[in-house]
Amino acid sequence: MKRSKILSAIFAVLLLSATYVFAANDEPATLDADTVEYDMKTGLAKAEGNVLMTRGITKLTGLKATYNVNTKEGFVEGNVIGVRDKMRITCDKLKSDGPGHMYATGNVKGREEDKTFEGDYVEYFPEQKSYVKIPGPGKVTNKDGIFTADKMEGSLEEEHYVGTGNAHLISQPNDLEAGGDRVDYFGKNINKAILTGNAWAIQDNHFVRGNVLTIYLANNGKVKAQ
């Protein structure tokens, strides 16, 4: 086996096990790139040019990838696209400090079935019910509508999101628009949103304002003011 192929095989196993946290540890890994380097003294592995990594059904592409065996830190950057089962994410740079925790920066867009999230910086915890943190302005969408806020976080699996600062909700199925300082959204079987602080809602040209507004999205956007 040629030395370049040996390095590619080593690097694929190391990088994919830590950089792309969607992949299962027991799945076979492959790596294709224009150049691959691995320094056994420093534990630093690098791949550059048309990087394509696969592990089982997981695929990750980018222009450059790096992984440090000693620190367990790795990243992929440059038109990054990652796909695993029902999750797809695109960004400028994808970084991981170990299994279960990923950072995505630069025009981050993610999709899991009918749920999406966007932001300039997103932290993703796949082992914690697909939990996402968006410390800057962000957006989350699902079948009920579009949620935006200065800061957002929540579980894609549980469909429970909290947005703070200029929280805004648009629900086209319910012909509803609402906002406030904070929005606490509960999906699945609950299907309601609680807006607090300068809260307001508009539906069918009817305007409601209150310190706390509870919106039952499963019941045609019924609004209850408190």
- Rounded to whole angstroms, how far apart are CA atoms 27 and 20? 13
Sequence-distant (6+) residues with CB within 8 A of 217 are: 144, 145, 171, 173, 174, 176, 191, 192, 193
pLDDT band at 149; cut points 50, 70, 90: very high
Output the pLDDT for position 2.
38
CB under 8 A, 24+ apart: contacts of 120-125: 122/91, 124/21, 124/89, 125/100, 125/101
pTM for the structure as a whole: 0.79
- Rounded to whole angstroms, how far apart are CA atoms 223 and 138? 25
**What would the pLDDT profile of 107-141 be if each residue is shown by its tens digit?**
999 998 889 999 999 998 877 888 999 999 999 99
**What would the pLDDT profile of 177-188 be if each residue is shown by its tens digit?**
999 999 999 988
Output the pLDDT for position 188.
80
Domains in the chain with CATH codes: 1-112 (2.60.450), 140-226 (no CATH)
